[in-house]
Amino acid sequence: MLHRMALILLVEDDRIITAALSRALTDAGHVVRPVGRAADALKIVTEERPDLVILDLGLPDIDGTDALRMMRSVSDVPVIVATARRSEADIISLLSAGADDYVTKPFSGGHILARINAVLRRARSAVDQAPPEIVVGELVINPRQRRAELRGQPLQLTRREFDVLAYLAERVGQVISRRELMNEVWNQARIGEEQTIDVHISWLRRKLGETAAQPRFLHTVRGVGVMMVDPR
Ligand code: CA
């Protein structure tokens, strides 16, 4: 795929890092919108609709993970988190909070550019290749508009919940392993993935009005994975 220019929101309070990253990203043909506070970032995400966000977790006004959750509540924009934290628990919590990828500080301009290009490519091909509509019983999913309805009522889904739902709905009757979901929906094979998947499945169940004990659409196959079923 040809390289396309992206509007990148860079949320970083360190001026030296901001200057170096802005230069690297601009040289690579992107447009950079730098801000130093999470509050400004949240405003710009809704008003200017950037193609991608690089979010430093150590910001002066709002804790980075909280900022990420707030961003996710208003936007599906891909987010790469820049963090000095590198424990397994920290990474799981970032991915659960909706990060698409992360880089640990310090990182080079070349390294973050490779991550940016990978995340943008996934986001764009997901839209380009999506089928127009998937129907599973009373559930109607429109991947291009990223909307889902149950019995005519719109579901309020996070980006990840939507991606998991659409992936499973395209494969009704097939048992999908957690590893496959991690590879295909999260696009990564990383430590601690099972808890992340289970958390998203349980949130999704709640929104579909079902429970693990009394499933309708999402059936857990113990020790294997999860399967979407047409409940009719
Ligand atoms: Ca910082």
What percent of the residues of the chain are helix, what percent strand, and what percent coil, each to the nearest 5?
40, 20, 35
Instruction: Provide the pLDDT for residue 121.
Output: 85
Ligand 1 center from residue 130 Cα (angstroms): 37
pTM attached to this predicted model: 0.63
CB 172 within 8 A of CB 162: no
Q: How much distance in Å is there from the Cα of 17 to the middle of ligand 1? A: 9
Nearest Cα neighbor of 228 from 194, 201, 195 is 201
Report helix, strand or coil for 138: coil
Place of tokens 């200017």: 48
Rg (CA), the chain: 18
Using the mean position of ligand 1's atoms as its centre, give its distance from the Cα of residue 111 in Å: 19
d(CA 4, CA 1): 9
- pLDDT per residue over 60-108, tens digit each? 999 888 999 999 888 889 999 998 877 778 877 888 788 888 898 888 8
- Domains contained in the chain, CATH given: 7-128 (3.40.50.2300), 134-228 (1.10.10.10)
Distance from residue 61's CA to the centre of ligand 1 (Å): 10
Distance 67 CA to ligand 1 centre (A): 13
Query: Quick one: 187 exposed, middle or buried, by C-beta within 10 A (0-12, 13-18, 19+)?
Result: middle
In this structure, which residues have their CB less than 5 angstroms from ion ligand 1? 13, 56, 58
The 10 Å CB-count burial string (b at 16+, else e) for 37-64 is ebebbbebbeeeebbbbbbbbebeebeb
Most confidently modeled range among 2-6, 50-54, 86-90: 50-54
CA of 49 to the centre of ligand 1 (A): 23
The SS3 of residue 195 is helix
User: When comparing pLDDT for 36 and 158, which is higher?
Assistant: 36
- Distance (angstroms) between ligand 1 centre and the Cα of 36 equals 8
